Structures are given as structure tokens and as C-alpha cells.
Amino acid sequence: MSIQLDILTKDREDDYESFLHYCQESLLYSSLKYRNFLQKILVNSQDYYLLAYDSGRLVGALPSFVKRHPIYGNVLNSLPFYGSNGGIIISPQASHPEKVQQELLDAFDCLASQESVVVSTLISNPLDSDVNFYESHCSYTFRDKRIGQLVDLPTNTSNDDSISEMLMGLFHQKTRNCVRKAQKSEIYIYHSDSLASLQALADLHHENILAIGGIPKPWSVFSAIRETFTYDRDYRIYLAEKDEQIIAGLLVFFYNCTAEYYTPATLASYRIYQPMSLIIYEAMLEAIKRGCLYWNWGGTWLTQTGVYNFKSRWGTKDKPYFYYIKEYDNSSSLRQLTSKQILAEYPYFYVLPFHVLQK
């Protein structure tokens, strides 16, 4: 068999999106709308979505972006931005999946060479059934691990009480108690596409992330989401109100078979009422009604024990995924930078593990 490789162009977009929806494990991050979102927020970057054809039929893809930097060198990610899984997507109809995977991986390395890349990172998909392929075929300098946590959602039925009962049956007793506590605390849950709702979520997010010493997403990211995605088809903003004020919010994406837990935020003084637990519960019910098979909590660092435990009590299954980082010969100047410089020079791109930096 002969695999033909190509780059995604405008005339192939419908074919590509249809391919993604046919692949049950494909996530939001590989979608065209997410690509368009990344194009809005990434600076000096170029997308390269590699496609693999067998006898004219699209059987594989590997989405990526190159960040160009005239001083320290170009960086290749599949994919950039917080928690964006990339990696190879294979059609269930591919007759020789490993050959398609190898061709795409080789094309990724070839792209790195053509673009004079100094470091490349390929982030695998937690739903990928063939995790071992990367271990045996990917030449990497470093490997970074995340714990993906996903819930297998109950099958949709026409009976709302039945759905609720099945969902609550997945949860740990502590989580069921948190949901019920919020239900009894006169908390009002709703979703809204208003600009004010998006601003409220962004403000809560900013406050939460600064409180733990992190770097909050700027308003431009939230604005780009609103500009790129269609409300109530692609995403929802859930809000919790008590005492006539917004006390929590959550941005959830719906794509293909998966609901993505994307941006949660809670007013610190109201955490005791467990508003986020009730929001998540309501959003999960909606995901089931939409026919989603998975609730994706995203990646958790190995050191984030508290976060891991919170997610695990929702009936999750651990799905580890990895960052395969490859250094090239001319990457030495990057190691001279500090972590702050890396973040400033390559915003939203994974470059190197900070522990290998010389400063």
C-alpha cells in the first residue's frame, strides 16, 4: 500500500471535519474551530495539519502549529495552548493503522526540519487506544506525563430521573453530598451567552488563578472563544448565583463524543456551598442529553494530589497521556533562558521542561 501525505487546505476542510467526527476518540483540540481559535491568539505562528490518504480516502491526521522566533529558534507543537491534546488521529477504517501512524510521525519530523525547528513537542490523546505506538516509534529527548481523567457517561434515556440516578450512581458519596448540599443551599444554576456572563467567568478565573500564583488567561482568550465558537452548539457558560451575585462559573465545550471541562472558577467566600459541584452535575446531565460518551476533566499534574482526588470522586478513569519533547542540535540557546523568559518568548507553546534550564 502507498500512503499519500498532504497539508490541510481550504478545499479539504469539510473532508477533514467529517473524518474527525467519524473517529470517536477525536477531541475538540483537533477541530477546525479550535484551529481558528488558536490562529486568533497565537502570534507569529503557522498551522500545519498533516493529512494521510490511502487510495484517495483520508485515514489519518496530525494537527500542529509552528511558533517562529528569529532569535532563539522555531518551536513545533501538536498542539499549543493549555491542555491541548494533539497527536495522531487514525480512522477506524484504516487497513494498516501503524503504517499510517509512522508516515505521519515521519512527516512531523520532516516538518520540523523544513521549519528549522529547535524543539518539537507532540502531546498524545488520552482517548488514544494505541499509546504504545509513541513509546516504540517516537524518538524523544524528554517525556513529560499527565494523568488524563475521564468519565464514561451513562447512555441517554428519555427519562430524566433515570439519567440523574445513573449519573449520581457513578459518584463517590462525598461528591453526592456536595451536589445535594448545593441543591439545598438556594443556589440557582443557569447558562448564558451574554457578554456580561463571559466577563463574570473571566473575572472569577483571574481571581482564582492569581490566588494560587498562576498566570490567568487574558480577556483576549475569552473574547476569541466568543468570536470563534457558536454558543449552545459548541459551548456553554454555566453560572451559579446566590444572594443575588454570581458565585461560580464553568465553561464547557461539546465536541463529537466528548464534553470538555474547560474553565472552572468559584468565588472563594462561597466555596463552602459547593456551587461548582452542582454546576458540573447539571453540565454532565446536558452532555448526556447531547449523546456525549465522555466527560473529559483534562490533564492533572502528578503533583496535584488535591485536584486529582476531587476529579476522581466523579467516577473517573485514569487515562495517562504524554508530552514527547525532541531537542534538535541548535537548541542550546533555549537552555540559557529562564522559565519566565520561555513563557514570554513562546506564549502558549510548550518548549522545554523547566528543570532542564540552566538558569
Q: Rounded to whole angstroms, how far apart are CA atoms 243 and 234?
A: 30
Type of residue at 294: Y
Q: Which residues contact 103 (CB under 8 A, 6 or more apart)?
A: 3, 5, 52, 60
> Is residue 337 one of the residues assigned to a domain?
yes
113 and 194, same domain (yes or no): no
CA nearest neighbour of 120 among 130, 131, 134 = 134
Q: How many domains does the chain have?
A: 2
Question: Do 174 and 235 fall into the same domain?
Answer: yes
Give the CA angle between residues 262, 39, 294 to the nearest 5°. 30
What pLDDT score does 239 carry? 98
pLDDT, position 185: 97
Can you tell me the distance from the alpha carbon of 189 to that of 284, in angstroms, rounded to the nearest whole number? 13
pLDDT at 41 (0 to 100): 98
Other beta carbons less than 10 A from residue 298's beta carbon: 19
pLDDT of residue 1: 66
Q: What is the pLDDT of residues 141-162, one digit of tens each?
A: 999 999 999 999 999 877 778 8
Residue 208 and residue 141 share a domain:
no
User: Strands 258-266 and 294-300, how do they pair?
Assistant: parallel
Which CATH number covers residue 134? Answer: 3.40.630.30
The DSSP call for residue 244 is T
Say whether 162 sits in a helix, a strand or coil.
Answer: helix
> Quick one: pLDDT at residue 210?
96
242 located within any domain: yes
Same domain, 257 and 226: yes
Instruction: State the residue for C-alpha cell 491541548.
Output: 84
Same domain, 339 and 226: no
**Which domain, by its residues, includes 82?**
3-146+322-356
C-beta atoms surrounding 290 within 10 Å: 13
Block mean pLDDT (10 aa), the chain, length 359: 93 98 97 98 98 97 98 97 96 94 97 97 93 92 96 86 93 98 97 98 97 94 98 98 97 98 97 98 97 96 93 97 94 94 97 92
Rounded Cα–Cα distance for residues 274 and 276 (Å): 6
- Residue 200 has what pLDDT? 98
The predicted pLDDT at position 159 comes to 76
Tell how strand 294-300 and strand 142-152 pair up.
antiparallel
Give, for 251, the enclosing helix (H) or strand (E).
Answer: strand 245-255
CB atoms within 10 A of CB 211: 10
Q: What is the pTM of this model?
A: 0.96
Tens digit of pLDDT for each residue in 227-276?
999 999 999 999 999 999 999 999 999 999 999 999 999 999 999 999 99
Domain annotation covers residue 308 = no
Any domain includes 305 = no
pLDDT value, residue 2: 87
Whole-number pLDDT of residue 160: 77
